[in-house]
Amino acid sequence: MATGLLTRIEGAITRAIPLNPIQSRLSQAVASISFDDIPFSAARVGAPILQRAQIQGTFYVCGGHTGQTFEDRPQHEAHDLLALHQAGHEIACHTYAHPFVTKLNDAGRDEDRQANADFMRQTLGDVRMTSFAYPYGAVSLAAKAYYARHFFTCRGVYRGLNVGRVDFSELRAIGIERRQHDIGRVRDLVAEAKERQAWIIFFTHDVGPDPSDYGCTPENLEDVITTLKDAGIETLPVKAAAAKVMFG
């Protein structure tokens, strides 16, 4: 009980202290759709859904999972990453081995980050990952400070819109996840984002008819895309949306 309370307090303090605050210059709302880990189905089912809608997403990759199984779900292959890159999607960093980065020191974070960068050079050549997402959504002040030094943006899983003074060291996001997805709530959030000229980021993992608790069905993903299109909100990869937030 005490440990759980301390963890919640630490999380609240971490979220309350922006380490890379950027004053938004958006004149209208913008959206991003992202996939963590890149399970096989995210590349083979999720990406085609985005492509049919003529939008690009952000795919946060763990190089150590390539060709492997993680949490009972088959993961992407190297040629999936090439196909995603060639289709114009952003390939971003989700660490190499998917550790709790809050449990690593900076030397451990360096080793893991470099391993993912090396993997990306071997797989895609001269592709530099500028966006990062925290595995498990686990964030501490030390982790935020580290990753904010190495990436343009860092995305968490704390629910909310990015508006006004946006913390690029821990971007807010909305999960399109089986365990919590509510299309009515999504529509309300999209309407709020439009009204407040906010950046709304969605994330999921696998995509399929029987997704994990952290994944979504194709219909869930299509509903989010339709909601954004009906609201007239442009959907961009994270790095492109971040540039709009920063420069207008």
pLDDT tens-digit series, residues 125-149: 989 999 999 999 999 999 999 999 9
| pLDDT for residue 167 is more than 90 | yes
Whole-model pTM: value is 0.95
Q: What is the predicted pLDDT for the residue at 140?
A: 95
**Domain count of the chain?**
1
DSSP the chain: -HHHHHHHHHHHHHHHS-SSEEE---SS-EEEEEEEE-BHHIIIIIHHHHHHTT---EEEE-GGGTTSEETTEEB--HHHHHHHHHTTPEEEE--SS---GGGS-HHHHHHHHHHHHHHHHHHHSS----EEE-GGG---HHHHHHHHHH-SEEEEEEE--B-SEEETTSEEEEE--TTT--HHHHHHHHHHHHHHT-EEEEEES-BSSS--TT-B-HHHHHHHHHHHHHTT-EE--HHHHHHHHHH-
Domain that holds residue 238: 2-247
pLDDT tens-digit series, residues 192-203: 999 999 999 999
CATH number at residue 172: 3.20.20.370
| pLDDT for residue 123 is more than 60 | yes
